[in-house]
Amino acid sequence: MTNQVSPQAAQQLLRAIEKDYALAQTLKTVLQEEKSILEQRQYAAHSALLSRKTQLLMELDQADHARRQAMADMGLQLDKQGFDLFVQQVPPTWQARFQSGWEKLADTMNACARLNRVNGKILAHAQNSMEHLMSIIKGTANQVSVYQANGRRNLNAAHRMLATA
């Protein structure tokens, strides 16, 4: 790409970046709310939040597609390198606005990825704890040891069930 970008194409890309950013900010808020819900073990509220999160992810995917399409229509690579080439071809008065928008979007998406990893770890820990407790209740826990009156461990206690339904 050797000539300057048309103002219409530049504005289309800017709108796409701004829409991506707004959706990413909303997703970040939802992920923070999800983290709080998971930490407080409010699992009923979590299922309602999941539908909001899913809807946001679908909207973000559509906005990302629009941004990528705008870049592809200008003959740009669909990455940071392509965006940097684009910025070099817009008027200097526009460059700061595009750079700022791209950086805010990247920072917000990185924050969302970190929050999502944390939430995944919280969920995995809760699931493992629940599975362990259920195996103890069912009497199927592996190598449950019980101390006998003489102080020795009895590893054959796996057959003991704490409760039946």
- State mean pLDDT over 73-95: 90
- Domains in the chain: how many in total? 1
Residues 146 and 136: beta-carbon distance below 8 Å: no
- State mean pLDDT over 40-68: 91
Q: How does DSSP classify residue 81?
A: H
Residue 83 lies in a domain: yes
Residue 95 lies in a domain: yes
Residue 38 lies in a domain: yes
Residue 162 lies in a domain: no
What is the overall mean pLDDT for the chain? 84
- State mean pLDDT over 61-65: 92
Residue 148 lies in a domain: no
Instruction: Return the beta strands (E) in 4-142 as ranges.
Output: none
Q: What is the pLDDT of residue 3?
A: 52
